[in-house]
């Protein structure tokens, strides 16, 4: 399973990368705004700064919602760095854009997936990744994990190369359940990744080892 971090915060990205487990980054206009990044020039410079930290796979989202606009904007984003994956919304013109970018050899991430039908269309159109949103489905009393499992199953039936990128992952149980059902990627905040480090028996065991070492050393 690949671990992506869902943020535009450079410090968090560096920390996740330094852990040695980071495979990529996802961003969106909301995350950019959270970091106070606005204006095309500053946004693109920020994407480049992210690319300079990580090895590959930085999802950069288009703002346009029409085919021509998405193609123009996506091509500009792809020029920033070879690590860029163009993020396209799950809409009719988005499907057309996915097909275009596939023909041009530009990787894509189809975002705002909330049904298996949408994921099937995105895979047929040639998306590199699909991003089903677990947490947002949970918010409306639908089991987001059920959707992840359904998409993984469908893709397995037909050998689609599109990778399932579980998004809106809010806690460690989301992440672990994604691993259990076979999601290819999870994207989440840094705190979800680092939460996997925690276990009370690890803490108590280490404290015991250190105490015993100190006692044997006469400290």
Note the pLDDT tens digit of each residue in 40-77. 899 999 999 999 999 999 999 999 999 999 999 999 99
In the annotation, is 57 catalytic? Answer: no
Among 77, 95, 99, CA closest to 86: 77
Check residue 165 and report its DSSP letter.
E
Mean pLDDT of the chain: 96
Considering the candidates 87, 96, 124, 177, report the single residue annotated as catalytic: 87
- Cα separation, 10 vs 156, whole angstroms: 35
- Cα separation, 102 vs 83, whole angstroms: 15
pTM above 0.85, yes or no: yes
pLDDT at 217 over 90: no
Confidence of residue 214 (pLDDT cuts 50, 70, 90): confident
Confidence of residue 216 (pLDDT cuts 50, 70, 90): confident
Are 97 and 127 in contact, with CB atoms under 8 Å apart?
Answer: no
pLDDT, residue 35, reads: 94
Among 120, 118, 156, 123, CA closest to 137: 118
């Amino acid at each position: 399973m690949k671990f992506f971090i869902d943020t535009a915060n450079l410090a968090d990205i560096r920390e996740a990368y330094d852990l040695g487990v980071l495979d990529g980054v996802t961003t969106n206009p909301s995350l950019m705004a959270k970091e106070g990044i606005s204006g095309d020039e500053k946004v693109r410079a920020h994407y480049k700064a992210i690319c300079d930290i990580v090895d590959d796979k930085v999802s950069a989202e288009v703002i346009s919602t029409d085919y021509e606009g998405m193609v123009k904007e996506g091509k500009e984003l792809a020029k920033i760095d070879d690590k860029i994956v163009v993020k396209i919304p799950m809409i009719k013109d988005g499907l057309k854009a996915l097909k275009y970018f596939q023909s041009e050899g530009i990787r894509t991430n189809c975002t705002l997936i909330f049904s298996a039908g949408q994921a099937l269309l995105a895979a047929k159109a040639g998306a590199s990744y699909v991003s089903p949103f677990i947490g947002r489905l949970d918010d409306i009393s639908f089991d987001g994990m059920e959707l992840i499992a359904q998409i993984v199953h469908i893709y397995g039936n037909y050998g689609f190369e599109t990778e399932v990128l579980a998004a809106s992952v809010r806690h460690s149980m989301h992440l672990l359940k994604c691993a259990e059902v076979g999601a290819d990627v999870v994207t989440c905040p840094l705190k979800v990744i680092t939460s996997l480090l925690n276990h009370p028996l690890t803490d108590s065991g280490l404290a015991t080892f250190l105490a015993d070492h100190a006692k044997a050393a006469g400290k």
